[in-house]
Structure 1
Amino acid sequence: MTSTYIEAGGHVRVYDDAVRTHQVFPLGTYRVHFSSKEGFSLVKIDDLTVGTERIYGGRDRKVAKIFRSYALADRSLGVMLSGDKGIGKSLFLRMVAAAAREQGLPVVIVSEDHDGIVEFLDSLDECLIVLDEFEKIFPAGRRGHGDGSNRQNQFLSLFDGLSSVKRIYCLTVNDVADVSTYLVNRPGRFHYHMRFEYPGPEEVRQYLLDQAPNAAPEEIENVALFSRRARLNYDHLRAIAFELEQPETLFSEVVEDLNIKSIEPSTYRIEARFPDGKVWSEEVEMNLFERGDVGRTFELRNGTRSIFASFVPKDLIFEPDGGIFVPITRLELLDDEDEEPEIYPTSVGLTLIGQAAYGFGL
């Protein structure tokens, strides 16, 4: 057996012939590990891969943009991926990791917080550093997290990109509100902030055509129209596709049984059109699919005037084209003096926002 002798800081450690030394950072995927006895190290793990899953929404172009910019930059590049769970951040991250390896860049995943993590990361050679669920692992000290300390600001000097070694830093974030204000809207630290929105009707149709080829066309259309009324993520669509592949499955029955009930409010643009052609509009957060017999009230403003409108979700009309309307006869209106307005709107419609059609086309 051949021994390997490694000297560091005046100490010589003896290892068996399983030890290998490298002059450059070996290509691969690693997770940062910490122990109180040995400090930080890298543990090799399986590569993050995309597999045969089809990519929707032109995200391959976004990946190409990241690496094109990195090649042109003379400093590190920061990329922030934000959006709710289940809408494709993890898949996009796997795409970025695969592209990094193709470029000869090792991938380092950071999944735990320990003092000294920044110094350790800054000791690494050129690579892609991934910090998944950044605001969860490194709380900003708001909303009652942990002991109130801000664990994100320790990265500011690293993310400034002025290190002698060039790297890509890629964060995934579920809630931007929990990210330090020193990171959001700071292109010097994060050149890209790619927001992931919910898939719109066209993406929903294409996904189901690919993943549920035996589904009835009218049922696929029903799902696409439903996506204009409630937000569906890819986890939802995966479950729906599985069900629609079964013979004679009706989406109206599937949606009642699947674990996809909307418990979080969605944002809707409410527009009230009046006989004189004026449109009063407002964006309102509400959940239309829970407690449908309980009234919802919202305020519409036009200059210094306001009207307060109330309706019951079970009275809503869902049009075949995806439009949502409140029957005027079922609408209760009061002006800002708590009196019934002299002129009623001719129509009141709701449009779900926060889908791909309203985002950056990711």
Structure 2
Amino acid sequence: MSSTYIETSGNVRVYDSTVTAHDAFPVGTYKVHFSQKDGFSLMKCDDLAVGPERVYGGREKKVDKIFRTYERTVRSLGVMLTGDKGMGKSLFLRMVAERAIEDGIPVVLVTEDADGIVDFIETLDECLVIFDEFEKVFPAGGPRNYQHDRQNQFLTLFDGISTTKRIYCLTVNDIADVSQYIVNRPGRFHYHMRFAYPGPAEVRQFLNDEAPSAATGEIENAALFSRRMPLNYDHLRAIAFELNHEDAVFADIVEDLNIKSIAPSRYRVDVRFPPEKDNKTPVKVFTDEVELNIHVQGDVARTVELSNREDSIFISFLPKDLIFEDDGTIFLPVQKATLLNDYEEVPDPLPGSITFTLVGQEMYSFAT
């Protein structure tokens, strides 16, 4: 068996006859690997594929948008995908990778950190470079630990001014852990696509597709429940599995499933006072968005502060006193709340209504 001798930078390495030389980057999917002995290399792996999984939310249009922009630009293109776990970022990433392979663009997965990683990526020809859970693999050092910031090493690469065009695609779970030199920098990441929780319409469509044997009324109960507590696609898959027979009852299912809300959600709180007797004074309204967890510790008081241009109001209440209406609206009975104004006095008159609305569902189509 003959050997193949490869010389680079004055070093000659000996390989067996299975060595194949390529004049161009072969289309396929690769993972960046590093070893102390051999340095960086690319290991071929299976292509990322969507498979039979159904795609919701018009994401195909977003994929088209990315590649249409990439074709028009003369420089590299950055795409950042952010949102909580289970929101569909990984599925979208597979869609982007699948499209890249179809267009003849190799895909490179970066899953580990090592000194010199940027220089290695710079040696690659045109490709899609994927950094999944970027802020975990490459933690930011923060303002007091700048020297240990592993994200800043990529800033020059992400500037996109390299002579070789590439697509850089990141997924991020916690945007707060991403460098300030990356967020809000369209010169580095042209697109920032946000993945929010599916709203009732998307929940209804998903369960109709994935749980065809479920009773219509129980699917409707699940859709309404999504207005009270955020449900991601991991939650919905579990609900669909349990709901997929005609005798299933959503209330019984949700009681036992591991989908209890342990993190705060964002709610819009509206406090409206009754009109003055003269009907000439504008109705006093307080509206703001606050983070609350109203699904645990129902006997522990929550306090929120709302302000308008003139004054403020403080509202203390017990989550167990909230009333969840069938249309998804959440009411707090005024008589169950403790209310104080700026002077630490009970307002007179009292508000006519206090409502809570889950925020973010209307953003499901992840605006750029």
Instruction: Write out per-residue CA displacement over residues 185-211 of structure 1, whole angstroms, 9 at most, x where no aligned residue.
Output: 111100000010110110000000000
1:143 to 1:160, Cα distance in 2 relative to 1, 3 A: closer
Partners in 2 of 1:31 and 1:131 — Cα distance?
A: 11
Alignment correspondent of 2:286: 280
The amino acid of 1:137's aligned partner reads: V
Q: 1:307 to 1:319 in 2, by over 3 A?
A: same
Could you tell me which amino acid in structure 1 is paired with residue 14 of structure 2? V
1:222 corresponds to: 221
TM superposition shift of 1:149: 1.1
- Which residue number in structure 1 is paired with residue 86 of structure 2? 86
2:75 counterpart of 1:69: no
Q: 1:77, CA displacement in angstroms?
A: 0.3
The corresponding residue for 1:116 is: 116
Letter in 1 for 2:154: F
Secondary structure of the residue aligned to 2:162 is coil
Matched, 1:103 2:103: yes
Q: TM-score, normalised by structure 2?
A: 0.95
- Specify the alignment match of 1:238 in structure 2: 237
Maintained 8 Å contact 1:202/1:224:
yes
Q: 2:339 maps to what in 1?
A: 333
User: Which one is further off, 3-12 or 165-174?
Assistant: 3-12
Measure, in 2, the Cα distance between the counterparts of 1:143 and 1:356. 34
Q: Distance in 2 between matches of 1:309 and 1:41?
A: 59
Q: Contact 1:228/1:322 (CA < 8 Å) preserved in 2? A: yes
Which stretch of the first structure deviates more once superposed, 101-110 or 135-144? 135-144
Q: Tell me how far apart the structure 2 counterparts of residues 326 and 358 of structure 1 sit (CA, whole Å).
A: 27
* CA-to-aligned-CA distance 1:19-76 (integer Å, 9 cap, x gap): 1110100111000000001000000111100001111000110000000000000000
User: Cα deviations across residues 89-113 of structure 1 (Å, max 9, x unaligned)?
Assistant: 0000000000000110000000011
Residue 12 (structure 1) shift: 2.1
Instruction: Report what 1:292 is aligned to.
Output: 298
**Residues 143, 82 of structure 1: alpha-carbon distance in 2 compared, 3 angstrom cutoff:** farther
Cα root mean square deviation, aligned? 1.6
Q: Please point out which of 344, 349, 357 is paired with 1:351.
A: 357
Q: List aligned pairs for 1:162-311, cutoff 5 A.
A: 162-276=161-275, 277-311=283-317
**Paired residue for 1:25?**
25
CA distance in 2, matches of 1:359, 1:334: 39
Alpha-carbon offset, residue 356 of structure 1:
3.9
Secondary structure of 2:351's partner?
coil
Query: Shift in Å at residue 247 of structure 1?
Result: 4.3
Quote the Cα distance in structure 1 between the aligned partners of 2:305 and 2:155: 41
- 1:12 and 1:116 map into 2 onto residues whose CA distance is 22
**SS of the counterpart of 1:340?**
coil
Shift of 1:11: 2.4
8 Å contact kept, 2:194–2:367 = no
- Structure 1 residues 105, 61: closer, same or farther in 2, change over 3 A? same
Counterpart mapping for 1:46-65 below 5 A: 46-65=46-65
Distance 1:361 1:117 in 2: 31
Alpha-carbon distance between aligned partners in 2 of 1:256 and 1:232, rounded to the nearest angstrom: 14
Distance across 2 between alignment mates of 1:214 and 1:148 = 57
Change (3 A) 1:84 1:42: same
Per-residue deviation, 1:226: 0.7
SS of match in other structure, 2:136: helix
> Conserved in 2, the CA contact under 8 Å of 1:58 and 1:361?
no
Counterpart code for 1:323 = T
**What SS does the aligned partner of 1:348 have?**
strand
Equivalent residue letter for 2:291: E
Where 1:243 maps in the other structure, the secondary structure is helix
2:133 & 2:269 partners in 1: Cα distance? 33
- Check 1:309–1:358 CA distance in 2 against 1; reply closer, same or farther (3 A cut): farther
Query: 1:144 Cα deviation (Å)?
Result: 9.2
- Partner AA of 1:347 in structure 2: S
Q: What is the CA-CA distance between 1:357 and the residue it aligns to?
A: 3.9
Q: Taking every aligned residue pair, what percent have the same amino acid on both sides?
A: 65
Question: Which residue of structure 1 lines up, in the alignment, with residue 280 of structure 2?
Answer: none
CA shift for structure 1 position 7: 1.1
The whole-number CA distance in structure 2 between the counterparts of 1:250 and 1:161 is 53
Counterpart contact for 1:32–1:109, Cα < 8 Å? yes
5+ residue gaps, structure 1 = none
Q: Is the 8 A contact 1:295 1:310 kept in 2?
A: yes
Q: Which amino acid aligns with 2:85?
A: K
Partners in 1 of 2:362 and 2:113 — Cα distance? 33
Q: CA deviation at 1:288?
A: 0.7
Q: TM-score, normalised by structure 1?
A: 0.97
Asked if the contact 1:57–1:361 (Cα under 8 Å) also holds between the matched residues in 2, the reply is no
Quote how far apart the aligned CAs of 1:16 are.
Answer: 1.3
Q: Give the structure 2 partner of residue 3 of structure 1.
A: 3
User: CA contact under 8 A between 2:4 and 2:15: conserved in structure 1?
Assistant: yes
Q: Go from structure 1 to structure 2 and tell me whether the alpha carbon gap of 1:82 and 1:306 turns closer, same or farther (over 3 Å shift).
A: same
